[in-house]
């Protein structure tokens, strides 16, 4: 088969797989957390039922909302899925490999943040505005961590294409696994926690105004729009988890060809993501939420770690 056609089909399957599996990871984390609390927890597939419920319900719209209300949910979903186009999932081949790289992924995630926070401010309700204000402050700190931790990995392969980074890591693990790698991974792990709205940065289980960031922005949304916003958040969570495991532990993925290879690649990535989900659930169960104004310490440390990771790679690799 023509290599390009194969890459497009493969990539399409990867994107579809992530979009389809996103609620599953959420359900998995909830299940583990519930077990830690000696509860049964909602079924694994509850996420799908919730989505179907929201998507089929009617919407209640604030009188003071503007065109941003329509733009935000659609734009956020579109930007998240577009970012997925450049993320290697079970193969390093992505559908539009020559059209985007890690900077584009960071840019598209920033676009989702802008649309989400604008949506939160749309109706003028103070809860949404509070969520937006906090999300933007956290997001501004997270952005350099995200970029630098990825850039640290891009230095050795001299490429910002995510597939190239994965291929390099898989082919040269002895150069890839280094002090710089470890520091960058630590930075990126904090990004994952902060961007998915998890403890100690945010609490996904509460609507209490003192603690919330993400839920606050959604407060004026209902029905179909709310479903889309929740769905986009789930996809983004899985996207970041896949980025973490595939970029920092790319082993056993890049060189697979043919069906058995893809099957093995898929199995590996499912196991890796499940482990990441397990780690998130354990972290959430073991830690308490930090006060909002203490967050700069955590994210600042992550930024320092990522910066150091890049610096160490420059000096010693």
Partner 1 sequence: MDDNLLATCMSLLLAASAASSVPPLRRFRPALVLSALASALALATAIHVTGTGEVTTLTLWEPSPYAMLELRLDPLGAVFAAIVGGVGLACSVFGVSYARHRPIDDVVYPLFLLMLLVVTCAGNVYTFLAAWEGMALASFALVLGDGAPRPRRQAAIVYLVMTHVATVFVAASFFIVAKGSDSAEFARMDGSALSVPLASLAFLFAVVGFGTKAGLIPLHIWLPRAHPVAPSHVSALMSAAMVKTGLYGIARVGLVFLGPGEPWWGIVLMSAGAASAVLGVLYALMERDIKRILAYSTVENVGLITVGLGAAVALRAEGRDALAGAALTAALLHATNHAWFKTLLFLSAGSVQRAAHTLNIDRLGGLARALPATGAATLAGSLAIAALPPFNGFAGEWILLRTLIGAGGAGGGDAVRLTSLIVAGAIALTGGLAVACFVRMFGIAFLGIGRTPEAIAAREPSPIMAGVLSALAVGCLATGIASAWVVRWLQSVPAAVLGAPAAQASHGGQLALTGGGAFSPVVIAAALIALAPLPWLLARMVFGASSQTQGPVWSTGVAFRPTMQYTGTSFSKPLRLFFGRVLLPERQIEVIYHGASPLPRLVRYSGRVPALFEERLYLPLRALALWSAGRLRLLQSGSVQAYLLYMMAALAVLLVVAQ
Q: Which of residues 53-92 bind partner 1 (CB under 8 A)?
A: 55-64, 66-68, 73-75, 77-79, 81-82, 85
What is each CA distance from 275 to 62, 111, 207, 241, 278, in whole angstroms? Answer: 41, 29, 28, 10, 5
Instruction: Enumerate residues 141-170 that contact partner 1 by CB under 8 A.
Output: 141-144, 146-148, 151, 154-155, 157-161, 164
What is each CA distance from 164 to 60, 123, 175, 254, 312, in whole angstroms? Answer: 46, 44, 15, 9, 21
- Taking the complex as a whole, the smallest distance from the CB of residue 223 to partner 1 amounts, in Å, to 6
Nearest to partner 1 of 64, 267 (CB atom):
64
User: Residue 198, interface with partner 1 (CB under 8 A)?
Assistant: no
Nearest to partner 1 of 55, 283 (CB atom):
55
User: Residue 121, interface with partner 1 (CB under 8 A)?
Assistant: yes
Nearest to partner 1 of 110, 282 (CB atom):
110
User: Residue 124, interface with partner 1 (CB under 8 A)?
Assistant: yes
Instruction: Enumerate residues 6-45 that contact partner 1 by CB under 8 A.
Output: none
Nearest to partner 1 of 127, 248 (CB atom):
127
**Counting every residue, how long is the chain?**
317
Are residues 223 and 57 in contact, defined by beta-carbon separation less than 8 angstroms?
yes
User: Residue 305, interface with partner 1 (CB under 8 A)?
Assistant: no
- Name residue, tokens 């989900």: 277
Stretch that binds partner 1, among 21-29, 33-41, 250-258, 306-314 (CB under 8 A): 306-314
- Which of 50, 122, 195, 284 binds partner 1 (CB under 8 A)? It is 122
CA distance 194 to 290: 12
CA distance 198 to 285: 11
Q: In sequence order, which residues have a C-beta less than 8 Å from that of residue 287 and are 6 or more positions away?
A: 199, 200
């Amino acid at each position: 088969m023509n290599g390009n056609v194969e890459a497009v089909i493969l990539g399409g399957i990867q994107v579809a797989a992530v979009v389809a599996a996103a609620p599953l990871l959420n359900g998995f984390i909830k299940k583990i957390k519930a077990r830690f609390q000696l509860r049964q927890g909602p079924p694994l597939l509850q996420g799908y039922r919730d989505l179907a419920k929201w998507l089929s319900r009617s919407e209640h719209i604030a009188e003071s909302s503007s065109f941003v209300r329509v733009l935000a949910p659609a734009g956020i979903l579109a930007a998240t899925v577009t970012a997925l186009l450049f993320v290697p999932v079970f193969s390093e081949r992505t559908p539009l490999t020559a059209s985007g790289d890690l900077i584009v992924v960071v840019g598209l995630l920033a676009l989702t943040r802008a649309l989400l926070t604008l949506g939160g401010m749309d109706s003028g309700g103070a809860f949404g505005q509070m969520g937006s204000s906090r999300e933007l402050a956290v997001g501004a700190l997270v952005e350099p961590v995200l970029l630098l931790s990825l850039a640290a990995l891009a230095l050795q392969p001299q490429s910002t294409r995510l597939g190239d980074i994965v291929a390099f890591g898989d082919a040269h693990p002895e150069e890839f696994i280094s002090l710089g790698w470890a520091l960058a991974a630590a930075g990126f792990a904090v990004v994952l926690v902060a961007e998915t709205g998890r403890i100690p940065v945010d609490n996904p289980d509460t609507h209490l105004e003192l603690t919330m960031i993400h839920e606050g922005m959604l407060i004026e949304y209902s029905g179909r729009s709310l479903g889309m916003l929740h769905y986009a958040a789930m996809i983004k969570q899985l996207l970041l988890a896949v980025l973490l495991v595939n970029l920092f532990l790319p082993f056993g993925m890049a060189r697979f060809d043919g069906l058995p290879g893809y099957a093995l690649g898929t199995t590996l990535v499912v196991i890796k993501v499940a482990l990441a989900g397990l780690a998130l659930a354990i972290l959430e169960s073991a830690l308490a939420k930090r006060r909002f104004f203490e967050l700069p310490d955590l994210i600042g440390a992550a930024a320092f770690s990522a910066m150091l990771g890049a610096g160490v790679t420059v000096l010693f690799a």
